[in-house]
Structure 1
Amino acid sequence: MTTTVQRVVHASALIDFAGARILTDPWLSERRGYRPGEPRAVATAADLPPLAGIVISHGHYDHCDLDALASYPDRDVPFAVVRGLAARVRAAGFRRVTELDPWQSTRLGPVEVTAAPALHGVPEVTFVLRHEGRTVFFGADTLRVPALDEVARRFPEIDLALLPINGLRIRPALNRQVVMDARQAAELTAVLRPRLAVPIHYAFTAGRLREATVLKLVRDRPDLYRDAVADLAPDTAVHVLAPGRPLTL
C-alpha cells in the first residue's frame, strides 16, 4: 500500500492512504496577524481532492479555518475533532462530526483515527492515523508534555510523525510557551521512534508589530529540528517538505 503526505501549509497536510485522503487542521485563508509565510499548496477548499475525512486538533483560526473550508463541496465528509468543536463544524454546513477525547477512536472512511493528548492553552488533541499497516502521528501545535510518551507505548511502530517546532510563546503572559520548539520536538521524536519525520508549524508569521509585542517564535528554521533529531534520534529520517511536495512512506 502506498502512503504519501503533502504539506498544504503550516500544520495543514494531506495524508493519502492509498487513495483515502485525510486533511489535517485546515488553514486556507489569511488575515491580519495571521500569514502563512510560505506558499499554500491548495488555493481554496474547492481545489481540495476528494477526502475520506478531516481532523481538527483545536479551534484556533490557523488550524480550524471553517469559513474558508465551507466551500468544500462534500457536506458529508466526516470530521474527527477535539471535544467541544462539533457545533462550530456543523454551523459551517458539515453534517458528520465526531468529537474525541484522548484515546478515543473513530473511523474516517477506512482510516482509524485515535485522539492523543495535547497541551496548548485551549482544548486540543493530537491524532494517530492508521490504515493497512501504516501509522502516522500528527502533532498539531502541542507543547511537549509527558502524556505524549503514552503514544509510543500504544503505537510502537510509527511510520511518520508530523511535529510542530516554532516554540511559540505569548509575550504578555510572561513569555508563556504554548508550542514545542525544535529541540523538544526532537526529544519527542526520540520517544516515538518514527521511521520518518516532517517538521510543521514553522513558517507562520504574525507580522512585525505582533511579533514584537504579542508573540515570540522561531521562524523558518526546520534545520534546527533536523539537526536535533540527528543528535537525539539518529534512526529517524527527517524530511523538510515544501508545501505541495509529496513524500512517500
Structure 2
Amino acid sequence: MNLQDVLPRIHWLGHDSFRIDGSKVVYFDPYELSTAVPADMIFISHEHFDHCSPSDVDRIRKDSTVIVTDQASAKKLSGDVRVVRPGDRLEVNGVDVEVLPAYNTTKKFHPKTAGMLAFVVTLDGVRYYHAGDTDFIEEMEGLEVDVAFLPVSGKYVMDADEAVLAARAIRPKVAIPMHYGAIVGSREDAERFQKALEGQVPVVILEKE
C-alpha cells in the first residue's frame, strides 16, 4: 500500500465520520455533514445519534446505496439496509466486509451485549478498520489492516493512551485518530496519540472537511 496514493482518498468529516473516495464512495458514521457526495455504501456502527443520523444518511443516499449496520440502527433507516452482527462477513458490490465488535470494558456506554459494530472494509485492495465506539479490546489483536481509524478522546471511548496500546496491537500501516473535536475530545488528544507512537506506527491527523 502506497500511503501517498491512499491518504488523498480519505476524508475526515468530523467526529467518527469518514468518506473514502475509491472505486466506490464509502462512508462511515455520517454525522453533521458539510458536503453531500452521494454514497455507494454507508457503514453505521451503532444507534447513538452521533453515529446513526438518518437526516445525514438521507442526504447522501441514492436508490442504489447499500447501508450496513446493526438491528437497532436499521429501525431508524430506510433504503437497502443490511443488518449484520459481529462475526459476520459479506461482500457487497465487490467490497469485502468483516464485521467486528465494538464495546467498552471499563465504561457502561457501549456494552458488549448491545452488539455494536466495528468494520474491516476492503476497498481497492486496501483494508480499512473503523473501530467504532470502543475501548482497547482483545478482538483488535492481530488484525491485519492497512488503515485503522481509532477513537482517542476518552470518556465514552478509549483515550489516547489506550489507543496507543490498540495501535501497537494492530500495527496498521497508518493510524488515523477520530472521536474528537465534537461532543468530547480535542486535537490535543490526537496529537498525544501521534507523539506516543513516533517511530512505531505512522499516525496521520487529518483536517476536518
> Which category of TM-score, normalised to the shorter sequence, fits these structures?
0.7 to 0.9
The alpha carbon displacement at 1:143 in A equals 1.5
**Alignment match, 1:209:** none
The alpha carbon displacement at 1:243 in A equals 1.3
**Does residue 101 of structure 1 match 2:85?**
yes
**Does residue 237 of structure 1 match 2:202?**
yes
The alpha carbon displacement at 1:7 in A equals 0.3
Question: Aligned in 2, Cα 1:228/1:82: closer, same or farther, shift over 3 Å?
Answer: farther
Deviation track 1:91-130 (CA, whole Å, cap 9, x = no partner) reads xxx2x11111112122343221111121023541110010
Q: TM-score, normalised by structure 2?
A: 0.85
- Cα root mean square deviation, aligned: 1.9
- Residue number among 35, 38, 44 corresponding to 1:50 in the alignment: 38
**Alignment match, 2:196:** 228
Distance 2:124 2:206 in 1: 24
Distance 2:151 2:19 in 1: 16
Deviation track 1:1-22 (CA, whole Å, cap 9, x = no partner) reads 95421101110001223x3111
CA contact (8 A) 1:98 1:106 kept: no
The alpha carbon displacement at 1:86 in A equals 1.8
Structure 1 unmatched runs, 5+: 29-41, 169-177, 206-216, 245-249
**1:90-239 to 2 correspondences below 5 Å:** 90=78, 94=79, 96-119=80-103, 120-121=110-111, 122-149=114-141, 152=142, 155-156=143-144, 158-168=145-155, 178-205=156-183, 218-221=185-188, 222-230=190-198, 234-239=199-204
Deviation track 1:24-66 (CA, whole Å, cap 9, x = no partner) reads 00102xxxxxxxxxxxxx42xxx42232200000001111111
**Alignment match, 2:24:** 20
Distance 2:205 2:187 in 1: 11
Distance 2:59 2:185 in 1: 33
CA contact (8 A) 1:80 1:108 kept: no
Deviates more, 1:234-243 or 1:4-13: 234-243
CA contact (8 A) 1:118 1:148 kept: no
Q: TM-score, normalised by structure 1?
A: 0.72
Question: Aligned in 2, Cα 1:50/1:110: closer, same or farther, shift over 3 Å?
Answer: farther
CA contact (8 A) 1:116 1:127 kept: yes
The alpha carbon displacement at 1:228 in A equals 2.0
**Which one scores higher on RCO, CA 8 angstroms, separation ≥ 6?**
1
**Alignment match, 1:72:** 60
Structure 2 unmatched runs, 5+: 104-109
Q: Choose 1 or 2 for highest CA Rg.
A: 1
Moved over 6 A (4+): none
Distance 1:16 1:236 in 2: 24
